[in-house]
Structure 1
Amino acid sequence: MSGFAYQAVYRYLIQLINEPGSGETLRLPSLRQLADRLNVSISTIQYAYSLLEKEGRVYCVAKSGYYAKPPGQAPLPACEGDLLETIYINARRPGMRVLSADDPASIQPLDNPLLMIERELLRQYPRIPQSPAQPWGEQALRVALAARYTVSPENCWHADDVYIGADLRGVLEILIAALGLQRATVVVESPCDWVILRLLEEAHVRVIELPVQGDGSLDPLRLESLLKSETVRLVLLSSALSMPHGSLIPRANRQAIAHLLVQHGTWVLENDAYGELQEEPEGHRIRDLLDPQRLLVFSTFEKFIGAEAPYGFVLAKGLRSELQRHFLLRSFRLSPIRQKAIARLYGGGRIDQHLQILRRLLKERRSRLINVLRERLGDALHIVEPQGGSTVWLRSSRPVNMERVFRDLLRQQVLVAPGDLFSLQGLHANHVRLSSLGYSDQALAEMVGLLGDSLRLASI
């Protein structure tokens, strides 16, 4: 047996042990498996394992094999660069208390019912033939979504108006391409989701931000001025619940904005990602007041079903040939069984039952966070009373350096979402978005106390 052979096997096993695993204990390949894989003798494998056993890296279980406990993952770097990159990296650090998560379905996911229906469907349809004729989603799910969004004979949708993609980001990328937004001018309500802002920025879109006012309304005079003075290709608005602000667009304001958009013949992209989480579903959404030929509506199942339903989708009556072409080019490979299972959740009324419970739980979590904020920080923060979703939008009562607050809390293993993430033009420098999902009252009180200390230190 050559020294080179067992040393090479030893190094190979060290790499296996150090790879991140899903559990605490890692089962290693058997002597024969490794001998066949690495083309060496069983005695060479046995010698390498004996070295690791002496070092305490592996242990042997009779009639079962060798096992190793992988070392704890090294902490990820704190990252002093890009703010969004810092958020993403630190959200995954061990021990980090994430007070910025926007994952509403996590407190009551529909994963189990969805997977049960999927297993039932697999028994009914053990072999689903591949259908190249449906590249924009399973027919059953498109029918269910069209029915969900239909409110009257005048405001109706059909399966051919629905396009389903692998995730929301992929669908948004297609919309940017299909609408020809590269280097065009787009008006977005602000604050705006950072995923949307980054995608527009990457496409070199000129973004003009229209601030959401204190009562949730948009300034129609400001919008009219923009439509007259700028070559606006598209206006991006929320359906009714404006997130992350958390407010509802007042009905009269919704009508005034819709009237302006119809008058100017402007393309509208409606963000309905949080529409199902609105506390009090009421009246028309902005889409019901617009020209359907100049309208696109996008959303995702992930916010209210959970991570097992990551698909994004868009409804559109216009741009049919462009959307079909881009969906064909993207060639999304989506599970037909999973889509059929989601359709059954709609058809059986399970989605509506689930949403009633989810909205109540989210309201309870938001109320707990707001109560702690008021008890611990008093008037230091102005709170927008949210009308849905899982987060709370806050503004410091005094000018502060919110990025300094963010960095200070990060050093104490608390992660928040500063307002700068939700604007490309620095409109929300004194704001922060918080979420209380998954934490006890005691943990919330401790984190809010740290937030208060950081706000005092960061006052300008």
Structure 2
Amino acid sequence: MTLRGERQADFAYQAVYRYMINLINEVSTDTRVKLPSLRQLSQRLNVSISTIQYAYSLLEKEGRVYSVAKSGYYAWPLSGSPSTLPSGDLLERLYVAARRPGMVVLSADEPALLASLDATLLRLERELVRQHPRHLQSWSQPCGVWELRAALAARYTSSPSRCWHADDVYIGADLRGVLDILIEVLGLRGSTVIVESPCDWLILRLLQDAGVRIIELPWAPDGRLDLPALEGTLIEETVQLVLLSSAVSLPSGVAMQPFERLEVARLLEQYGCWLLENDTYSELGFQPQQAALRDLVNPDRLVVFSCFEKILGPEAPYGYLLSRHMSGELQRQFLLRSFRLSSIRQRAIARLYHSGQIDQHLNTLRQLLREQAGEMSQRLDHHLGDQVTYRMPSGGATFWLGSVHAVDMRQVFQHLLARQVVVAPGELFSLGGLHSQHVRLSHTFHGQPNLEIALAALGEALRQAQLG
């Protein structure tokens, strides 16, 4: 089977999506069924691996499939009963449970649920299709279309000495693919990397799978970065790279203070370390943005990565990175990955930047997130006031809760699954056993009728799981 000729490549993922829906309907049973790999489908349908990956991503969002690390994609069992959940890895169990029908998913981190630009993006895409005949569009831009790369370069430029150019920007199918390339190009296998903790499980597991030695730098309960611990580690260890958030660090929800940023920049310069800056949430902070960490460090040892999905919605799944150096190797790796991204969609995103619509959208989204966080805080105080501690988040769409009493958080997780509630246990955000008394909760709910019941169930689960 081939999809070429039947539909233009810009929209190949839609054809792949329809093919996968039919395939899932054919293979669905009461037990989980493994689906073809990205490479198998790429060869079968004669489209790029990134197109297959995008279609699978859409299916995951809709709860039709789920992914298992180092294994692949699986179709949902028809029964969806608790007995069909995998018994092994906690993250795998969370992924599977979150996609079961009827679950109250408090484990997600999707800010754009409150306000996405999906509809606007698709409207712009239709307009651009009329303006740019699809048969004239080129796929020979493995690092992304120039318009979007230039828009991002302009957005990240803050001064004549802190400027970026389109050639410094690289766009991939999703954040996972971009981070995979970074790990390869930076030669991190076998090296030592300092990572703020708690840290997104995607980042942690990609580094772990690549054989990187990870040293976790926990945020203190008062929301401060442990600078003496950072310096001590830089003295004692040969650290190649430090991974920190540019502004808001999630799921902890803290923001680095100006003096901390200056001290971090000084330490990185003194010990000759690269900064890998996670800029995923910098534009979702509730307070006016301070100088980004990237604007204080040596630009010759800096790489920034981010994605569009957190602010735009699932129709913009692309990840991207900015780097002034290693251009030859980065271009080679992006070409080898055969990223075949929709040029029309990228141009539509670029137009959102140029027109100022993204800034207008961000103002609205931040306000909604701030209001929703305030409402969630009141609910937490009402249902869990004597059972958890937390700091009001500085941005984003989640709360980071700590249990007042010692509990078995896995037991809490299991208890809630039986009540059709999914939370994200804190241990998922560490590889060293940290945060076992924490849990991440989403607050992006508009009139969710089951939220009060879910929070009451969480309180009951915490009481039942107390140790000693």
Normalised TM-score (structure 2):
0.82
User: Could you say what secondary structure the match of 1:429 adopts?
Assistant: coil
Looking at structure 2, the residues matched to 255 and 281 of structure 1 have their Cα atoms a distance apart, in angstroms, of: 18
Q: Is 1:408 the counterpart of 2:415 in the alignment?
A: yes
Unaligned runs of 5+ in 2: 1-21, 29-76
Tell me how far apart the structure 1 counterparts of residues 286 and 153 of structure 2 sit (CA, whole Å).
22
Q: Does the 8 Å CA contact 1:215/1:247 hold for their aligned counterparts? A: no
Say which is worse superposed, 276-285 or 242-251, in terms of deviation.
276-285
Distance 1:452 1:125, change over 3 A: same
Find the counterpart in structure 2 of residue 177 from structure 1.
Answer: 184
How is 1:369-408 mapped onto 2 (pairs within 5 angstroms)? Answer: 369-408=376-415
Aligned equivalents of 2:24, 2:316: Cα separation in 1? 32
Question: C-alpha displacement at 1:79, in angstroms?
Answer: 2.4
Counterpart of 1:186 in structure 2 is 193
Compute the displacement of 1:16 (Å). Answer: 8.9
Which residue in 1 is equivalent to 2:307? 300
Partner Cα distance (1:277, 1:248) in 2: 11
Q: Which moved more, 1:276-285 or 1:421-430?
A: 276-285
Matching residue's letter, 1:215 = D
1:289 is matched by which residue type in structure 2?
L
Name 1:55's counterpart in structure 2: none
Task: Answer yes or no: is 1:421 the counterpart of 2:428.
Answer: yes
State whether residues 245 and 278 of structure 2, in contact with CA within 8 Å, keep that contact through their aligned partners in structure 1: yes
Counterpart of 1:3 in structure 2 is none
Equivalent residue for 1:290, pick from 293, 297, 319: 297
Q: Of the candidates 242, 247, 259, which is equivalent to residue 254 of structure 2?
A: 247
Q: 1:318 aligns with which of 325, 330, 355?
A: 325
Give SS of 1:304's match. helix
Is 1:79 matched with 2:86? yes
Q: In the alignment, which residue of structure 2 is the partner of 1:148?
A: 155
**Aligned equivalent of 1:337, options 341, 344, 347:** 344
Matched ranges for 1:82-231 at <5 A: 82-127=89-134, 129-131=136-138, 133-231=140-238
Structure 2 distance, partners of 1:217, 1:258, is 16
Q: Retained in 2: the 8 A contact 1:20–1:73?
A: no
Query: Alpha-carbon deviation of 1:442?
Result: 5.0
Q: In structure 1, what is the Cα distance between the partners aligned to 2:381 and 2:26?
A: 45
8 Å Cα contact 2:139/2:340 also seen in 1:
no
Structure 2 match to 1:38: none
Can you list the C-alpha shifts for 1:230-261, whole angstroms capped at 9, x where unaligned?
Answer: 11111100001011111111111111111100
Contact 2:142 2:335 (8 Å CA) reproduced: yes
CA RMSD across the alignment: 1.9
Label 1:370 to 1:20 Cα distance change in 2 as closer, same or farther (>3 A): farther
Deviation at 1:133, TM superposition (A): 4.8
Amino acid at match of 1:89: V
Shift of 1:281: 3.2
Structure 1 residue 166 displacement after superposition = 0.5
Q: Deviations over 1:382-421 (max 9, x none)?
A: 0121011110001011111111101111111100000000
Report deviation, 1:171.
0.1
1:227, distance to aligned residue in structure 2 (A)? 1.0
Amino acid at match of 1:248: A
Measured after TM superposition, the shift of residue 214 of structure 1 is: 2.5
Q: Do the aligned partners of 2:194 and 2:243 also contact (CA within 8 Å) in 1?
A: yes
| Amino acid paired to 1:234 | L
CA distance in 1 between counterparts of 2:189 and 2:344 reads: 36
Number of residue-to-residue matches in the alignment = 397
Q: Which runs of 5+ in 1 are unaligned?
A: 1-14, 22-71
Q: For each residue in 1:23-73, what CA deviation from the matched residue of structure 2 results, as whole angstroms up to 9, or x when unmatched? A: xxxxxxxxxxxxxxxxxxxxxxxxxxxxxxxxxxxxxxxxxxxxxxxxx93
* Structure 1 runs, 4 residues or longer, greater than 6 Å off: none
Distance 1:275 1:326 in 2: 27
Distance change in 2, residues 1:137/1:254 (3 Å): same
> Does the aligned pair in 1 maintain the 2:247–2:289 contact within 8 Å?
no
Sort the Cα spacing of 1:88 and 1:17 in 2 relative to 1 into closer, same or farther, 3 A.
closer
Q: Please give the alpha-carbon distance, in whole angstroms, between the structure 1 residues aligned to 2:141 and 2:183.
A: 22
In structure 1, distance between residues paired with 2:139 and 2:330: 16
Per the TM alignment, residue 20 of structure 1 is displaced from its structure 2 partner at its CA by 8.2
What secondary structure sits across from 2:148 in the alignment?
helix
Match in the other structure for 1:430:
437
For residues 320-350 of structure 1, the C-alpha deviation after alignment (integer angstroms, 9 at most, x for no partner) is: 2221121111121011110000000000000
Please identify, of 160-169 and 435-444, the stretch whose mean Cα deviation from structure 2 is larger: 435-444
Q: Measure the CA separation in 2 of the matches of 1:221 and 1:18.
A: 56
Task: Give the 3 Å change call, closer, same or farther, for CA 222–409 of structure 1 in structure 2.
Answer: same
The range that moved more, 278-287 or 343-352, is 278-287
SS of the residue corresponding to residue 456 of structure 1 reads helix
CA contact (8 A) 2:114 2:446 kept: no
Counterpart of 1:167, as a letter, is: D
Whether the aligned pair in 2 keeps the contact of 1:419 and 1:431 (CA below 8 Å) is yes
Structure 1 contact 193–422 (Cα < 8 Å) conserved = yes
